[in-house]
Chains A and B, each alone.
Chain A
Amino acid sequence: MIETLIFLIFAGLALASALVVVLHRNAVYSTMSLVVTLISLAVLFVLLGAPFIAALQVLIYTGAIVVLFLFVVMLLNVGREEIGEQRGLVQKGAAVLGAAVLLVVVGLTYMEGYGGAELAPLDEELVSLPGLAAELFGRYLLTFELVGLLLLVAVIAATVLAARPRPAVPAEGDVLAEAPEGREPGADDGGLAEPAGTPGGAV
Chain B
Amino acid sequence: MVPIAWYLLLAALLFAIGTAGALTRRNGITIFLSIELMLNSVNLTLVAYSRLLDDRTGQLVVFFVLAVAAAEAAVGLALFIAVYRHRRTIDLDRVNLLRW
Contacts and interface: CB of A to CB of B under 8 A. Distances in A.
A3 B2 contact: yes
Contact of A161 (B25, B60, B78): B78
- The prevalent SS among residues of B at the interface is helix
Given A69-B77, A107-B8, A150-B68, A41 B48 contact: no
Interface string B79-98: 11110110001110100000
A154 B75 contact: yes
- The prevalent SS among residues of A at the interface is helix
Please tell me the size bucket of the interface on B: 35 or more
B50 A132 contact: no
Given A31-B33, A56-B66, A106 B44 contact: no
Interface in B37-55: 37, 40, 43-45, 47-52, 54-55
A132 B86 CA distance: 46
Nearest to B21: A22
Interface of B: 1-21, 23-30, 32-34, 36-37, 40, 43-45, 47-52, 54-57, 59-60, 62-64, 66-75, 77-82, 84-85, 89-91, 93
26 contacts: A4-B2, A11-B6, A18-B17, A21-B17, A31-B29, A45-B44, A47-B2, A48-B47, A69-B77, A72-B77, A75-B81, A76-B80, A76-B90, A98-B23, A99-B17, A100-B16, A106-B16, A110-B12, A117-B4, A119-B4, A122-B51, A123-B54, A126-B54, A132-B56, A147-B68, A150-B67
Given A34-B33, A110-B45, 6 more contacts: A15-B17, A18-B14, A44-B10, A81-B91, A150-B68, A155-B74
Interface of A: 3-4, 7, 11, 14-15, 18-19, 21-23, 27, 30-31, 34, 37-38, 41, 44-45, 47-50, 52-53, 56-57, 60-61, 64-65, 68-69, 72-73, 75-76, 78, 81-82, 85, 87, 91-92, 94-96, 98-100, 102-103, 106-107, 110-111, 113-114, 116-117, 119-123, 125-126, 131-132, 135-136, 140, 143, 147, 150-151, 153-155, 157-159, 161-162, 165
